Amino acid sequence: MPWLDGWLQAGIYALAALLAALRPLLVPRARLFWSLLAASLTTRAVAFAAFLFHVRRLDPVPYPSVADAFWLLSAVLLVAALVVLARESSAHPTVGIMLDALTGGLVVAAAAAVFLYAPLLELLPSGAGSDVVVVNLAYPSLDVAIAAAFIGVLASARWRVRGPLLWIAVGVLAHAVLDSVFVYQAAAGTFRPGTPLSALSALASTVLAAAAWVRPQLERRDNPEIEPGTGIVLPVAFAVLGWALLVYAALTPVSTAAVALTAAAVAVALVRTGWSYHQSRALAEQRILARTDEVTGLANRRALLEALEDRVRHPDRGGIGLLALDIDDFRALNEAVGHELADTVLEVVARRMRESTRAVDLVARLAADDFVVMLPGVSPQEAEEAAERVRASLRRPLEIAGGHHVITTSVGLAMFPTDGTDADDLLHKAELALGDAQQHGPGLRRFEPGRHTTAGDRRRQVERLQDGIRARELELHYQPIIDLDAGGVVAVEALVRWNHPERGLLAPDEFLPLAETAGLMREVFGTVLHQSTRQLAAWHANDHELGLAINVSVTDLLDPDLPDQVADALAVAGLRGTHLVLELTEEVFLAEPKRAAAALARLWDHEVGLTIDDYGTGYSSLSYLRDLESLQGLKLDRGFVAGLDGDPRGQAIVASTLELAYSLDLEVVAEGIETPAVHRHLWELGCPLGQGYLFSRPVPADEVPLDATFPVVDEA
């Protein structure tokens, strides 16, 4: 194809370089990567121009030449670009990602040593100078580096090749292969310009440049499955390739370096396989822990609902009695003896409940002093008898802090299928019966349909919420977080709303409690996470460098998949962990503190910011401020903020909180700023950030005043 040689091919290279160079100039996101890629393509265009207009006109045509210097520099820049892309694809690379990248790089290097280096050296004429040898080895070495770096990119992206990454993959691999072919032809003396391979080389540059303008595919499942490359399959495949190379090396004379690289690739692949097995075991253990109450060792809400759902799916197994039990005056006991002794009481209660029930019964702890017992295959009378046995076992005197305490309980009973036909409805009705028991003094109450006329509606409400989530009726409003000193918007808090077809726009407190008790918080959080990160990525693409805050419930935090879910959403949106802050209430730390701390540590590994929301409304704040190294900041509860104007005691509390936060290097956000007077008080106390109706209500994404500069306090 001689018409592809010369000016046309040079024009294609130049156009590709221009397209790539425009990306970092016009779009700030991933600017360093695109700048390095543009530099690589520009250098390649210069190399071709040098060859076309200078080198090929010399007689004889020199090798190596100035064009080779530019081609090699282009490869170096491409390697640098891929290293940056790998870093940007994973804010905090895991051990598995690094082992995948290392294994893949070693396999590629071993294959090159076996099949590429030796033939190239054999093709060199006997009198070849050192410069020829160096250049002939530099080309394949850089191609190996390109392939290895790109494997690192794929590993960091969890082996999901789509959108711009798909185009980058095609362009990078085409360049690596074609460069190796060209150097092989040059060494053999068979290289000719203007061939189909030359056309493919120009096309590869064009594909790389086009990747800069391909829209990212941001649509993702809310609950993505583990990608195959992050598990056992990929390291086993690399190990098999390594073993195949070792077998080939045993049958064919190859260099010692090739054997060493192959052996290293196999060794690292085996280490990666072992690590994957270890991680799988750890994940299995986490899933068990995620279904176990930390304090008592009983089943938790998730385990209870799973067992209930499994049982109600098989009504032929017989009826189910469900007991909802609450310890009377437990809060007073907690305050009297302290948190640690109260936990000891809960452990004793759990042990006695297990001892007084059958082996087939399931005892669960749902919250502080809320317990549930699932009684499979019982009649209503047998369920009532079981409830009385449990209550009697708990009434035995318990020695606490040198004194004796008698534990009394209230119990609610609901029966399947008489009172409810699904797990959520049955639990809800048992809790309604428990409420009756608490109102009428310690004892047992059976669910009575006439007393609870709204109970039958709950299942329909849950189904309607499930339908709403699937129909994408949940939408986000955003409230700006303001720099109180400069007046600019520095971040937004994402707040979920339900756009109900009949009832209109519902606030969170109108449906989140239902989602919590129905086990739908994972779906709600997934929707909020993916919608908000996509929106933040769009704002970043339009040059609005903001942070994002999302609220996390106890249920969300104790989900073992949460850190991976967050990391996946950030990767899909092209964001770093530092762009996201998760807001946690102090209830998180009171429920299961050790598991909460472990989850926070995993989130911190992804560089995700963590703050305590509604700070000051719990009673254990100071201990968690001391113990949680991953904590980044506090959000002052609006109750303290609203009382600043004309309340010296409130001002003293806020001032001391700010002083404490500064001493611990924690960032503070004041919420609920509604008046200029409160704004001034916060500014005078040195509070750096705030949000509230004074600046903006929560509004849809297209109404957020991103470019606004709000009035600042006049120092005069």
- Active-site residues, by number, are 671
Contacts for 682 with CB less than 8 Å, ≥ 6 apart: 484, 641, 644, 654, 670, 673, 690
CA distances from 570 to 87, 97, 495, 532, 604 (A): 13, 16, 18, 10, 14
Q: Which of 583, 449, 470 minimizes the C-alpha distance to 526?
A: 470
Cα–Cα dist 403/421, whole Å: 45
Query: Euclidean distance between the first and final Cα of the chain, in Å?
Result: 77
In angstroms, rounded to a whole number, what is the distance separating the alpha carbons of residues 541 and 552? 26
What is the rounded CA–CA span in Å between residue 247 and residue 249?
5
Give the count of beta carbons closer than 10 Å to the beta carbon of residue 238. Answer: 26
Q: Which helix (H) or strand (E) holds 416?
A: strand 409-416
State the Cα torsion 241-246-252-255 to the nearest 10°.
Answer: 110
Q: Give me the sign of the Cα torsion angle 651, 654, 657, 663.
A: negative
- Report which of 39, 29, 114, 120 is spatially closest to residue 79, judged by C-alpha positions: 39
Amino acid at 579: H
Residue 452's CB: how many other CB atoms inside 10 A? Answer: 17
User: Across-strand partners of 479?
Assistant: 493
For residue 593, CA distances in Å to 311, 466, 590, 623 come to 31, 30, 6, 11
Q: Which of 157, 215, 219, 208 is nearest to 34 (CA)?
A: 208
Q: How long is the chain?
A: 716
